[in-house]
Amino acid sequence: MAHIADVIKYEGDNSTFIRKHPREDFNSLTQLIVHESQEAIFFMNGQALDLFGPGRYTLETQNIPKIGKVLNRTTDGETPFHCEVYFINKTEQMSIKWGTDSKVQYVDPTYGFPISIGASGEMSLRVEDSRKLLVRLVGTEDFLTQSGLVNKFRGFLMTRVKTYIAQVIKANAINIFEIDENLTVFSENIHKLLIPDFAEYGLSLEKFFVTTIVKPDGDRQYEKFKELHFRQYADVAEAKLRQQTDLIYAQTEAQKVVIDSQAQATKRAQEGYTYAQERGFDVAEKVAQNEAVGQFTNMGVGLGTMAGVGGAVGGVVGNAVNDAMTATQAEQPVQSADDMATFKTKVEKLQIMKDTGLISEDEFAKMKAQIIADIM
């Protein structure tokens, strides 16, 4: 006669997903204990029947309605029955290692050459649907551990992960030399893509990390493009540095102009003249330096001529011109042979004075008439 279990429970570790209870014969007085983060499922004749969450239960008909229906039990007598009990650990299983068993083949989106890479990382899983997991994955096995789960999912996982890695690289235009800085992009995108795949087996993919990408170091074509990439990177970095240097220089020069302008304005304020007067000083100095300034003296330039220069400066220059004109006229008469050349020279110089703003249009006309009168 089979030994009837008095108490059914499982004190397992968190590395085990599913554990089948060693006893299979029970009656209505048998006690079932399900711990926190566990579920218990009764199997009979290959069917997943009653499911129990955390708590303590007596296997009476009201607690096992599906089993009772199969047994056609109408009373709560101590009738024994035979079934299988599986305990499912629903805690999140952390740090489950994964890795591609072969290289991922794809075409680099930036440089357009074929390349092969490997990948590895970690993930964490949690049982979401105990019935689905038992039916689809466990079958007749007595237990399922982390390593056992990885082995069962190896082919499935490798196929999906390699496909998704290639898709993420293409969708985000990630070149081989930028992969390490985009591990988070890989992890997040592949995680989202894998969630429905694991859900088909009653599992929730809580986390998924790509921690390492194995590049084809030593491959001649890869090394060639690697050198090209980092040379371009260096050129870009140098150009940016040069641009920043030029910008700093331009800003410095602009600040110098501002400082010089402020200093000059302070100087004018201290010496009592304006910017317009300062420009007048400059014009007067240029006129004085002109090699033919003496020729202006007999053009009839009066005191009013230099009024545009400003204040006392205009008067000084105007007096100097008038004095020179008088002296020149007293020294020698105009020779008729040079009349036309003299006329032309004087008119050209008058034109310059008018163009630079030293004399007005009316003054220009009067002085030109005076030159003509002198020649006549």
Q: Report whether pLDDT(146) > 70.
A: yes
Tell me the range of 107-116, 179-188, 253-262, 343-352 where mean pLDDT is highest: 179-188
Structure pTM? 0.57
Tell me the range of 4-18, 198-212, 331-345 where mean pLDDT is highest: 198-212
Strand partners for 31: 7, 58
The three-class DSSP label of residue 3 is coil
Contact 325, 295 (CB under 8 A): no
Closest CA to 316 of 356, 359, 363, 281: 281
- The alpha carbon torsion through 54, 60, 61, 62 (nearest 10 deg) reads -50
Count CB-CB contacts under 10 A for residue 58.
13
Q: Report whether pLDDT(295) > 80.
A: no
Q: pLDDT tens digits, residue range 345-374? A: 887 787 877 777 778 888 888 888 888 877
